[in-house]
């Protein structure tokens, strides 16, 4: 068994959510594990195509909301690097190996933001940039574009806010920003890399509510950072590699049944 380097943490819900996982493209890659957090499972069985794989583990949870689901998946992961995922993505071996190699090539980077192709049709920076130095205006990474070192969240206490995201009563989006932006305050080094890390084949169900909650999430983030995000911030680190002239909650309500393939 190879040492786990990258944990792809996948959130799904409802009884047929596990069938969505079975349809995903999850290639077998040395050093990669897939951690599935499954809400509202209703004790449905796991398909053999998942249960028979040693690199996939399923963790049932009675929690509610996408943020709690993501936190549960992260809690059960063991890799040095964690990549956030949804249950409708397509991955290739080359893409996952590229994520691992990016962190190997840039050992100072704590959080990496990638890009993905698919329905969102987002506009991305054309080159690698240091996000601690200068965040492009309107830059807002989706959760599935975020990868980070485990020690980043352990040392800084970062997690997805249970008050935001799908499955909450009021703020059904914005959990991505609330996870990413406060990381700038921790003085961790965050870079954007113009590489696709996955493909999204279908329409997302967050698009209709995202912009209704964006102003609220950014208000919370601005309160944390207390500075315009499209200008260099004097209290957060500068990335020497990009600018060489510069100097440099546990969810106790979870009741989980862990099912690992044999």
Q: What is the pLDDT of residues 136-166, one digit of tens each?
A: 877 888 899 999 999 988 888 889 988 888 8
pLDDT digits (tens, 9 = 90+) for 166-203: 888 777 787 888 888 767 666 678 999 999 999 987 65
Which pLDDT belongs to residue 211? 43
Q: Are the beta carbons of 57 and 259 closer than 8 angstroms?
A: yes
Residue range 202-220: average pLDDT? 47
pLDDT of residue 16: 95
Determine the Cα–Cα distance for residues 258 and 253; give it in Å rounded to an integer: 15
Whether the per-residue pLDDT at 2 is higher than 90: the answer is: no
Q: Order across the sheet with 56-61: list the strands.
A: 129-130, 190-200, 111-118, 146-149, 81-86, 6-13, 32-39, 56-61, 257-260
Residue 126, pLDDT above cutoff 50: yes
DSSP three-state, residue 259: strand
Is the pLDDT at 206 greater than 50, yes or no?
Answer: no
Q: Diameter of the chain by CA atoms?
A: 57
- Model confidence at 104, in pLDDT bands (50, 70, 90)? very high
Pairwise CA distance, residues 21 & 68, whole Å: 18
């Amino acid at each position: 068994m190879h040492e786990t380097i990258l944990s792809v943490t996948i959130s799904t819900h409802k009884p047929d959510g596990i069938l969505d996982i079975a349809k995903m493209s999850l290639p077998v890659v040395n050093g990669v594990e897939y951690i599935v957090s499954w809400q509202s499972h209703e004790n449905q069985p796991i398909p053999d195509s998942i249960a028979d794989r040693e690199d996939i583990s399923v963790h049932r949870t009675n929690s509610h909301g996408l943020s709690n689901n993501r936190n549960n998946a992260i809690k059960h992961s063991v890799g040095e690097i964690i990549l956030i995922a949804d249950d409708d993505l397509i991955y290739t071996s080359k893409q996952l190996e590229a994520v691992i190699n990016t962190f190997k090539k840039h050992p100072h980077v704590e959080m990496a933001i990638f890009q993905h192709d698919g329905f969102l049709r987002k506009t991305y920076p054309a080159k690698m940039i240091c996000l601690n130095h200068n965040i492009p205006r309107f830059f807002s990474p989706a959760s599935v574009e975020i990868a980070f070192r485990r020690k980043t969240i352990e040392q800084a206490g970062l997690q997805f806010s249970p008050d935001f995201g799908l499955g909450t009563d009021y703020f059904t989006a914005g959990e991505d920003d609330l996870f990413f932006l406060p990381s700038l305050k921790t003085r961790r080094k965050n870079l954007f890399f113009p590489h696709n890390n996955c493909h999204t084949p279908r329409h997302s169900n967050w698009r209709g509510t995202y912009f209704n909650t964006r102003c609220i999430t950014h208000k919370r983030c601005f309160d944390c950072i207390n500075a315009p995000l499209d200008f260099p911030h004097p209290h957060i680190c500068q990335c020497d590699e990009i600018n060489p002239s510069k100097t440099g909650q546990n969810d106790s309500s979870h009741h989980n049944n862990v099912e690992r393939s044999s």
